[in-house]
Structure 1
Amino acid sequence: MSDILTSLLNAQLDVGLGKPILWREVIGNIFGLASALGGARRRIWAWPVGIIGNVILFTVFLGGVFHTPQDLNLWGQAGRQVFFLATSAYGWVVWAATRRNNGASQVAVHPRWATRRERIAGLTAAIIMLIVFYFALKALGSWGPLSDAWILTGSILATWGMARGWNEFWFVWIAVDIVGVPLLATAQYYPSALLYVFYGAFCIYGFATWWRAQATADDS
């Protein structure tokens, strides 16, 4: 049984790009995509689906630890999966409570713009986290520590903003994608890089969906 599980975890796909890719990287990103779709539609199942993807991708981005074909450790990418687990649990609880209060409605969050105080707090936290994460990831030997720190910082803010229902979190994700695509492509994490390209376009759709939902709520 353990041999079968090991074979499944290490299953690879050769796409002719120099190094094979792990099927679990593909599968983990599929769960991430499904979670993003659920988030855009404000469905509570987005959180548990995302958690499954986080667990899978944690092992993928520690390539040197788990001996993946890339053999590179992106500690920021792996670390954000851990944070996602905690934030997803929080978002799951908050959205579940909102949906219960909505009665028959399946909508689990009411989109809104962050307040001025929330934006200042978010920007301050972003600067502090970026500096701290850069030096921490550099000390850990992360490949591309500055880009990795940027992605980790943005991912934390975006996930927290999604849990709180802030429209701005979609723009933060775009900033993460802009840095994430070249980093992951250069590190040969091709499925993740490709998904980041799609996320960038998808974030525009997600923002438009939330913005319309807020406008409809304000008019009612």
Structure 2
Amino acid sequence: MSWLNSEAFTLFGQHIKWSDMIGNIIGLAGLAFGWRRSLWSWPVQFLSGVILFTAFASAHLSGSAGKQIVVMGVAVYGWWQWSRGTGRTKDGQITVRFATWRERGILAGAAALGTLAVAGLFTAIPTLSWDPWPDAYIFVGTIVAMYAQARGMVEFWFAWLLVDAVGVPLNFANGFAFSGFVYILYGALVLWGMRDWWLRSRTAEQRPALEGVPA
């Protein structure tokens, strides 16, 4: 499988690796399934994590490589969470909602403290990461985003935007140009998905009120 980390082609002067390209295309499909609230989002994201792990591990980006392990773990959790049958509408779709202020505080606090802890580890052990702070930020931010997705929170899209804001320049700087290009596409898909989940969450909030109105 060494060919995965070999160069596929050159695009705009950037060397594109097979693992970088294939893993991100699959990841893009996984996010699209997430936008559609499809259970297939999780096994597809798991496969993307496996391939991208080999790419980032070979470049000594421990945070990004470790992120893929988390992606695989949360993908298993997300599959279990969504397949239990709870949190679904009558037509079988996953119910989406805005997080409570308490949940938002917990997510933000976990992201901040997690980033400090992981960056501290990477700084103390330089061989783990060549870019400790952005690497830690992406690592922790991905955990937060995927957990929020598994719980059906609209905020997961906001979390992905914040991860992308750092992920795009970091990937270009470390030779993963295809990841950089795809993350730009991620941004567009995230905005689209955010709008869809936002509208659906508002519909879900309005439905109980309407049901209580006499015909």
Same structural fold, with TM-score higher than 0.5 when normalized by the shorter chain: yes
Q: Deviations over 1:10-41 (max 9, x none)?
A: 45313156663321211111110000000011
**Quick one: structure 1 residues 214 and 131, their matched pair in 2 at CA, closer, same or farther if it must change by over 3 Å?**
same
**Matched residues in 1 for 2:87 and 2:101: separation?**
29
**Which 4+ runs in 1 deviate beyond 6 A?**
none
- After TM superposition, the structure 1 stretch with the greater mean CA deviation from structure 2, 53-62 or 10-19, is 10-19
Query: In 2, are the aligned partners of 1:59 and 1:78 still within 8 Å (CA)?
Result: yes
- Alignment partner of 2:69 out of 78, 82, 99: 82
- Alignment partner of 2:47 out of 30, 52, 73: 52
Q: Does 2:129 match 1:134?
A: no
**Quick one: structure 1 residues 110 and 15, their matched pair in 2 at CA, closer, same or farther if it must change by over 3 Å?**
same
**Matched residues in 2 for 1:194 and 1:88: separation?**
24
**Quick one: structure 1 residues 19 and 47, their matched pair in 2 at CA, closer, same or farther if it must change by over 3 Å?**
same
User: Among the aligned pairs, what percent are the same residue?
Assistant: 37
**Matched residues in 1 for 2:40 and 2:83: separation?**
10
**Matched residues in 2 for 1:218 and 1:33: separation?**
29
Unaligned runs of 5+ in 1: 64-71
SS in structure 2 opposite 1:14?
strand
Unaligned runs of 5+ in 2: 208-215
Q: Deviations over 1:159-207 (max 9, x none)?
A: 0000001111111111111111111101110011111111112211111
SS in structure 2 opposite 1:113?
coil
Q: Deviations over 1:146-166 (max 9, x none)?
A: 111111111110000000011
Q: Does 2:120 match 1:170?
A: no
- Alignment partner of 1:122 out of 107, 113, 127: 107
| Counterpart position of 1:68 | none
**Matched residues in 1 for 2:154 and 2:88: separation?**
21
TM-score, length-scaled by structure 1 = 0.86
Count of residue correspondences: 205
Q: Does 2:12 match 1:27?
A: no
- Alignment partner of 1:193 out of 180, 185, 191: 180
**Quick one: structure 1 residues 134 and 19, their matched pair in 2 at CA, closer, same or farther if it must change by over 3 Å?**
same
Query: In 1, are the aligned partners of 2:87 and 2:95 still within 8 Å (CA)?
Result: no
Higher relative contact order (CA 8 A, sep 6+): 2
